[in-house]
């Protein structure tokens, strides 16, 4: 027998909690089921099931094999459905939340292209910087900077990123360019609000030396897009993810300053804390439309972002 048939047989044994019941489901005799299971265990040199006359239970190796079998069988089934039914089988809601700047600049065009390919998918795009509990939010996909602490979720890096200090050429011409972090206390700064906390202590690192500067903000907002707008207006200096302002930098609408320092809103100063990540529930429970969109998102995003 081929490996695929053995996988289907093994999943059936676990599902029916016995060889006899699984054999009836598959149309195979108890003797055939026993022989095939023994051959399967001999092939891999491990015991997959603990068996008694009335009960079977998975060994550690059996549990690993069972999970792998389910995933492979599900993938094969989906591939067959996609070939037979095409895009008709890809339908339903797709709920995504992303920071406003990233959502509008990157996610929106990718999502629009995906929905043209799969017109029966109904997109919900929420622009929000504050989603932290994906299960309670009802979102399928959360796009955010940094990672979530919930270990039951999958977090994958969508793009590397870093924090940059930036201002318009007009602001710098009028107020001068800071040459060291301490100079920021004499400049107009634009600060984020997070859960009513004023993020006005900015952390810097040059090689092994760390420094924290508390700025005197000219304006506050809990919306990163508003901070970017004010920076473009020439109101002050902003601490932003480079992804949010990359197009502005490329087109000389904004200029980065203090480039020799690593920058962040917290003391961890880890580079990965500024990376853009995609967070979602385990692949085992994902509908087809979500898996397809994730593949599409990573493919498109890699060609759209050049840092």
How many separate domains does the chain show?
A: 3
**Per-residue tens of pLDDT for the chain, all 307 residues:** 588 889 999 999 988 888 888 888 888 898 999 999 999 999 999 999 988 767 788 899 998 998 888 888 877 776 776 666 555 578 888 999 998 888 998 999 999 999 999 998 999 999 876 665 665 667 889 898 876 655 567 888 888 888 899 999 999 999 999 999 999 999 999 999 887 889 999 989 888 788 899 999 999 998 888 999 999 999 999 999 998 999 999 999 999 999 988 887 766 555 546 788 898 876 665 778 888 999 999 998 877 655 4
Structural domain range at position 123: 92-161+273-305
Residues 6+ apart with CB under 8 A from 235: 171, 188, 190, 218, 219
What tokens appear for 60 in the block? Answer: 């550690």
Query: Is residue 252 one of the residues assigned to a domain?
Result: yes
Q: What are the Cα distances from residue 65, in Å, to 21, 47, 267?
A: 20, 11, 43
Is the distance from CB of 176 to CB of 307 less than 8 angstroms? no
Q: Give whole-number Cα distances, 54 to 18, 89, 122, 198, 227, in Å.
A: 7, 41, 48, 64, 67
**CB-based contact 70:14 (threshold 8 Å):** no
**pTM, full prediction:** 0.63
Structure token pair of residue 291: 């898996």
Q: Are residues 136 and 283 in the same domain?
A: yes
Looking up residue 251, the CATH number of its domain turns out to be 3.40.190.10
Instruction: Examine the domain organization and report whether 189 and 212 are in the same domain.
Output: yes
């Amino acid at each position: 027998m081929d490996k695929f048939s053995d996988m289907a047989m093994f999943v059936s044994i676990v599902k029916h909690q016995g060889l006899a019941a699984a054999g009836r489901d598959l149309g195979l005799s108890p003797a055939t089921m026993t022989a095939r299971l023994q051959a399967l265990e001999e092939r891999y040199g491990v015991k997959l099931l603990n068996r008694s006359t009335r009960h079977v239970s998975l060994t550690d190796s059996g549990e690993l094999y069972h999970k792998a079998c389910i995933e492979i069988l599900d993938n094969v089934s989906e591939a067959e459905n996609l070939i037979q039914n095409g895009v008709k089988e890809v339908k339903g809601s797709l709920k995504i939340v992303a920071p406003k700047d990233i959502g509008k600049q990157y996610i929106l065009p990718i999502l629009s292209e995906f929905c043209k390919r799969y017109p029966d998918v109904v997109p919900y795009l929420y622009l929000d910087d504050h989603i932290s509990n994906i299960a309670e939010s009802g979102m399928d996909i959360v796009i955010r900077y940094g990672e979530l602490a919930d270990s039951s979720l999958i977090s994958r890096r969508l793009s590397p990123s870093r924090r940059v200090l930036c201002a318009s050429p007009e602001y710098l011409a009028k107020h001068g360019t800071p040459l060291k972090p301490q100079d920021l206390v004499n400049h107009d700064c634009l600060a984020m609000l997070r859960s009513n906390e004023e993020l006005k202590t900015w952390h810097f690192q040059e090689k092994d030396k760390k420094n924290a500067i508390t700025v005197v903000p000219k304006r506050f907002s809990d919306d990163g897009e508003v901070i970017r707008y004010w920076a473009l207006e020439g109101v002050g200096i902003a601490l932003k993810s480079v992804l949010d302002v990359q197009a502005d930098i490329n087109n000389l609408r904004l200029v980065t300053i203090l480039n020799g320092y690593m920058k962040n809103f917290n003391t961890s100063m880890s580079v990965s804390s500024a990376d853009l990540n995609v967070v979602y529930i385990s692949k085992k429970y994902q509908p087809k439309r979500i898996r397809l969109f994730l593949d599409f998102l990573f493919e498109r995003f890699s060609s759209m972002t050049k840092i």
